Amino acid sequence: MIQRFNIDNELVDKFCSVLSLESGLSSNTVTAYRGDIIDFNLWLEEKEIIVSDVSEPLINEYFNHVKKSLKVSTLNRKISSIKKFYLWMVREKYMEINPSTKVKGLKLREKLAFVLTEEQLSHLFSLPNTETNNGLRDRTILELMYASGLRVSELVGLKYTDCLLAEKAVLVWGKGRKERVVPFGEEAFFWIQKYLSHSRPTFLKNKSSTSFFVGRGGGKLTRQFIWKLVRTLAKQIGLENYCTPHTFRHTFATHLLNNGADLRSIQLLLGHTDISTTQIYTKIALDNLKRIYAKHHPRA
């Protein structure tokens, strides 16, 4: 007979280990899934219901309760978390019936990503004071993000040995620890050399660090630092509500496509497993072309 039980830390740890080892999810995704399961369990505790007694209507009730305060993408991730959790519970014979089988996610309203123009990029690049060590490092961060399309987690996780200067490329460990090599151009190469010659040695002093980008005292930069840097600079040119670190990734891909790169090459550069994820950039590029056409064609 299946035992009735509640969620505890040990159970959540086992589930998260499976997500890491079998599904190859990134540590950030696993952390998000862990939080989703814990939030769901707290809600169940308020109703004095244990996890093994959950039914499909109860799961739907939970999502109706939380959806008012969540973006659709966040809600869909929570649905995915709970569905994966119960699938694992049945597989490991903690439960006989999966109550989440018929629970479905919500359709996302298609929203094209914001892409920076070359003029906006130039303004952003000109803002850091490159006469200072901080400014030189910050300019290098912006240049590399645009030159390579790295995710912010990939950028802060970049090791010193991952920068292949002779090849003008970076070795990137993406989602699921998948490895790829991404080239960068002459402009990024120029600023990377300056950063490695001046800022990084000054920050480290007599210390050593495996991290490529470091701050004062030689500490590794955080995702929060990169977000704050981009938002602070974007605010200075009126883009604080649009521009994030991920905007540079969107801009990288869209500018490549606009200048003739094929979709398969962009997929490899971005590290997308499925090319359908990359295809959003064809829509962004087409949308941009339509705007240009409407603005400049005499009979538009």
Paired with 180 in beta bridges are: 172
Average pLDDT, the chain: 86
| Per-residue model confidence as pLDDT tens digits over 226-258 | 999 999 999 999 998 789 999 999 999 999 988
Q: Which three-class secondary structure state does DSSP give residue 118?
A: helix
Residues written for the chain: 300
Residues of the chain with CATH 1.10.150.130: 9-91
Task: For residue 93, count other CB atoms closer than 10 A to its CB.
Answer: 9
Residue 6 has pLDDT above 60, yes or no: no
Q: Name the residue type at position 40.
A: F
Where is pLDDT greater, at 177 or 228? 228
* Interior angle at CA 38, CA 14 and CA 110, nearest 5: 105
Average pLDDT over residues 56-74: 84
Region 167-173: what's the mean pLDDT? 92
Element housing 172 (H / E): strand 169-173
**What's the CA gap between 251 and 285, in Å, rounded?**
10
> What is d(CA 228, CA 226) in angstroms, rounded to the nearest whole number?
5
Instruction: Give the pLDDT band of residue 3 (cuts 50, 70, 90).
Output: very low
Crossing angle of helices 27-46 and 56-66, in 10° steps, is 100
Here the tokens at position 222 are 């955080």
Q: CATH 1.10.443.10 occupies which residues in the chain?
A: 118-296
Q: Distances in Å between the alpha carbon of 174 and those of 26, 77, 165, 170, 253?
A: 8, 19, 20, 12, 16
Note the pLDDT tens digit of each residue in 97-143.
899 988 887 765 555 678 899 999 999 999 999 999 999 999 999 99
Q: Between residues 300 and 205, which one has the greater pLDDT?
A: 205
* Residue 214 near residue 203, CB atoms below 8 Å: yes
Q: Are 217 and 203 in contact (CB under 8 A)?
A: yes
Task: Give whole-number Cα distances, 90 to 3, 15, 39, 44, 182, in Å.
Answer: 12, 12, 21, 19, 41
The residues annotated as belonging to the active site are: 151, 175, 246, 249, 272, 281
Instruction: Give, for 88, the enclosing helix (H) or strand (E).
Output: helix 72-91
Is pLDDT of 296 > 70? Answer: no
Domain range 9-91, CATH class: mainly alpha
What's the whole-number mean pLDDT along residues 20-46? 84
Find where tokens 């814990």 sit.
38
104 to 18, 97, 111, 134: CA distances (angstroms): 22, 17, 21, 47
Instruction: Look at the pTM and tell me if it is higher than 0.75.
Output: no
- The percent of residues above 70 in pLDDT, for the chain, comes to 89
Residues forming a β-bridge with 214: 220
Rounded Cα distance between 222 and 146, Å, is 18
Question: Which of these CATH numbers, 1.10.10.60, 1.10.443.10, 3.40.630.40, 1.10.645.10, describes 118-296?
Answer: 1.10.443.10
